[in-house]
Amino acid sequence: SAVISQKPSRDICQRGTSLTIQCQVDSQVTMMFWYRQQPGQSLTLIATANQGSEATYESGFVIDKFPISRPNLTFSTLTVSNMSPEDSSIYLCSCAPEYGYTFGSGTRLTVV
C-alpha cells in the first residue's frame, strides 16, 4: 500500500486564522481525498482533490472554507480558512485506488 505523510501532525490555532495541511504520497495515485473527523465521531468526506482541476466538494463543504490544491499526482493541500472552534477536528488525507484505500495519520487541529 501507499505511504501517506501529513504535516503538521497537530496544531493549535487562533480563531479567524487559516491553516494549510499538507499531504504527500510516496507513489503516484489517481485520487486523493480529504476527510474530517470531529471529536468522538466517525469520518466524513470533505472533498475529492483532482489533479489539474478544481476539487469536488461534498454537501455541506465549500471551497471558500476548505480550499484544496492538487498540483501533481503525489501531493495535495487542504486549507481550513477563517477558523472557529467548531473546526476543531482531525483532518485526514486518503488516496485510492491503486494502493488500496490508505489514510495518513491525520492532523489534529484545535481552534481556540
Partner 1 sequence: GESVGLHLPTLSVQEGDNSIINCAYSNSASDYFIWYKQESGKGPQFIIDIRSNMDKRQGQRVTVLLNKTVKHLSLQIAATQPGDSAVYFCAETYGGTSYGKLTFGQGTILTVHP
Instruction: Write out the residues near partner 1 by the rule CB under 8 A.
Output: 1, 4, 6, 30-31, 33, 35, 38, 40-45, 48, 60, 92, 94, 96-97, 100-106, 108
Q: Quote the CA–CA distance of 86 and 52 in Å, as a whole number.
A: 31
Smallest distance, Å, CB 35 to partner 1? 8
The residues, ordered by sequence, that sit 6+ positions from 33 with a Cβ below 8 Å of its Cβ are 45, 46, 47, 48, 49, 93, 94, 95, 96
Q: What is the signed CA dihedral for 99, 70, 47, 87, rounded to 10 degrees? A: 110
Smallest distance, Å, CB 21 to partner 1? 13
The residue (of 35 and 66) whose beta carbon lies closer to partner 1 is: 35
Smallest distance, Å, CB 45 to partner 1? 6
The residue (of 52 and 100) whose beta carbon lies closer to partner 1 is: 100
